[in-house]
């Protein structure tokens, strides 16, 4: 079935800037139940896009490409039904930085850092993730406001990020962090080896 999408920006931008931003944003709709292809939304200069959806499927919506601080304001699940859908993209994502260190306070280059949200409603959106540079420094941006646990890890995650209750089960392996819209925050990132 054909569905039409309209892009809203927060904060609203002047017409010329809005046109440039709209064309630069790409969203992806991931099927939730069956193994069929994701659907890509490329917006025109007016912030409009259309796509064919499977009427027997529901889709999680995520940002695939956009400005660095962009995030979807609300986690979205789209049912495969005809209609018009408004999608709001905020340009006020939070930014978090920290240095991944081991138990001896030595930098751990190459470590991954994943933010697991407290609210399971955000499971439709991929978790914010970053990687430690040579000095152990990691930087994440475009993070939706909320409560997270920041988990640094090497090779294999220390907990299952995608199960119900992941926030609580991952808390012993990371650091609790509260982020507000547009905020810059430094967080401690101690790698806890099993």
Q: What is the pTM of this model?
A: 0.81
Residue 1 in this model has a pLDDT that exceeds 50: yes
CB 26 within 8 A of CB 104: no
- pLDDT tens-digit profile of 83-115? 888 899 999 999 999 999 999 999 999 999 999
Q: Phi and psi for 94 in degrees, rounded to 5?
A: -80, 160
* Tens digits of residue pLDDT in 13-49: 888 888 888 889 999 998 888 888 999 999 999 999 9
Q: Respond yes or no on whether the N-terminal peptide bond of residue 11 is cis (omega within 30° of 0).
A: yes
Half-sphere exposure of 104 (CA within 13 A, CB side): 2
């Amino acid at each position: 079935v054909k569905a039409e999408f309209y892009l809203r920006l927060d904060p609203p931008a002047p017409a010329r800037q809005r046109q440039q931003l709209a064309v630069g944003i790409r969203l992806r709709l991931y099927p939730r139940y069956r193994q069929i292809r994701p659907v890509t939304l490329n917006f025109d200069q007016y912030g409009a896009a259309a796509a064919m959806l499977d009427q027997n499927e529901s889709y999680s919506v995520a940002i695939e490409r956009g400005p660095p601080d962009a995030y979807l304001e609300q986690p979205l699940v789209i049912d495969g039904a005809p209609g018009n859908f408004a999608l709001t993209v905020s340009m006020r994502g939070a930014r978090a930085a920290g240095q991944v260190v081991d138990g001896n306070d030595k930098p751990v280059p190459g470590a991954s850092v994943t933010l697991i949200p407290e609210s399971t409603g955000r499971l439709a959106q991929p978790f914010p993730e970053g990687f430690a540079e040579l000095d152990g420094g990691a930087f994440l941006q475009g993070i939706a406001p909320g409560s997270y646990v920041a988990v640094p890890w090497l090779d294999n995650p220390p907990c299952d990020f995608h199960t119900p209750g992941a926030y609580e089960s991952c808390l012993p392996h990371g650091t609790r962090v509260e982020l507000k819209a547009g905020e810059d925050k430094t967080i401690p990132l101690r790698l806890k080896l099993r």
